[in-house]
Amino acid sequence: MNAPVPTLVLGGTGYVAGELLRLVAGHPYLHLVAAVSDSRPGEKLAAAFPHLAPAYPDTTFVDADEALRLVTTLPGCSILAAAPHGVSAALIDRLLTAATAAGTHPHVVDVSADYRFSDAGAYASVYGHAHGAPDRLADFSCALPEHLVTLATRHVAHPGCFATAMLLALLPLLQYELVEPVFYVSGVTGSTGSGRSPVEGTHHPRRHSDLYSYGALSHRHVPEVIGILERLTGRRAELNFVPHSGPFARGIHATTQARLVRPMSSAEVRGALQEFYAGQPFVRIKPEAPRLKDVVGSNYAELSATAHGHSVAVMSVIDNLTKGAAGGAVQWLNRIHGWDQATGLTAPAPGWT
């Protein structure tokens, strides 16, 4: 029997934090000891997330000082961090510094961008501000659970949601040297990818029944993805990415196009993807085009591929809040603790969202 691991969720009332809390509630080996929100300490979780009331009817948010006390008194606890970019690094560093001094040694999985880069200068060039804890970067690895065979660090940074959808398609093509290292990706994301705070681009009357691009060829996930690909494959790739806002709440559909180094059939490319992801419980390779409703609300990803001559297109679909953030983070935590990586994550998609 596994003793429940005391778990803290940072990030308060954000959508990803809510999804982390939902997954922790259904996990057999994780036990929530604190949900941290400096803006709403003392308020019930159910006030921010009414759908979580059955799991947390009376649990209240705590502030960072209480989180600091907990990590110094709970040996081997886990921290799932969904604090905002630019805030997460310093907060995690503060908690880990105190925990090290107390000898409690927690594990952290961070879903913000703060530990996705191995170089503080690279982070600053993308996010426009100095990194909050540059000396802590070497303590984190950044990759999808399916892509890093051996974890050499104590802590993990999970790639972003768009990055997840892209990497699932890009890395096998590059690793197997099936394509020239130049990619063109068009991706569509749901409104929850923009966070909980309402802005014009995610306001429902603006987004409903509409589709539009943003950040074409300049999205901040591009250098993140290029860096991960280079670290894992040793190959430098060019990535041309055009993201779009879709008229739905959850999910990402990404289409990757590239030039094959030799003509291949669609079946051959799908076979290569099937081989690459053999034994990975959350990646399914489909003969037909993947659909968002088959994965939204779950930790599953579906991919398919079509090839014609030297051209190939790989389509990937994920739930941005689950596989692209909270689910991937829990999957990493399963690996860190030596549990089956699918523990607590095997619920299928609802299907009719």
Q: Is the pLDDT at 125 greater than 70, yes or no?
A: yes
| 154-170: average pLDDT | 98
Which residue in 201, 174, 179, 176 sits closest to 189, CA to CA?
201
Mean per-residue pLDDT over the chain, rounded: 95
Active site residues: 161
Number of CB atoms found within 10 A of residue 205's CB: 7
Average pLDDT of span 142-163: 98
What pLDDT does residue 353 have?
Answer: 79
DSSP letter (8 states) at residue 240:
E
What are the pLDDT digits (tens) for 213-264?
999 999 999 999 999 999 999 999 999 999 999 999 999 999 999 999 999 9
Beta carbons within 10 angstroms of residue 2's beta carbon: 11
One-letter amino acid of 276: F
Q: List 5's β-bridge partners, or say none.
A: 30
Q: Using an 8 Å Cβ cutoff, are 326 and 19 in contact? A: yes
Which one is predicted more confidently, 303 or 195?
303
Which pLDDT value is given to residue 200? 74
pLDDT digit string (tens) for 64-121? 999 999 999 999 999 999 999 999 999 999 999 999 999 999 999 999 999 999 999 9
110, 140 contact by CB (below 8 A): yes
pLDDT higher at 16 or 2: 16
Residue 12 binned pLDDT confidence (cut-offs 50, 70, 90): confident
According to the model, what pLDDT value does residue 281 have? 98
Cα–Cα dist 81/231, whole Å: 23
The answer to whether residue 207 scores a pLDDT higher than 90 is no
pLDDT over 80 (residue 196): no
Residue 30: burial class (beta carbons within 10 Å; 0-12, 13-18, 19+): buried
Which two structure tokens, joined as six digits, stand for 143? 């990759």
Per-residue model confidence as pLDDT tens digits over 274-297: 999 999 999 999 999 999 999 999
Q: What does the pLDDT average to over 178-190?
A: 97
pLDDT for 192? 87
Distances (CA, A) of 88 to 48, 96, 168, 240: 20, 12, 25, 28
**Rounded to two decimals, what is the model's pTM?**
0.96
Rounded mean pLDDT, 15-30: 97
Residue 195 predicted with pLDDT over 90: no
CA distances from 47 to 12, 19, 57 (A): 12, 15, 10
Above 90 in pLDDT, residue 1? no
Distance separating alpha carbons of residues 137 and 298, to the nearest angstrom = 30
CB atoms within 10 A of CB 190: 23
Domains and CATH numbers, the chain: 5-142 (3.40.50.720), 162-319 (3.30.360.10)
Ordered strands of the 155-157 beta sheet: 30-36, 5-10, 78-81, 107-110, 155-157, 140-142
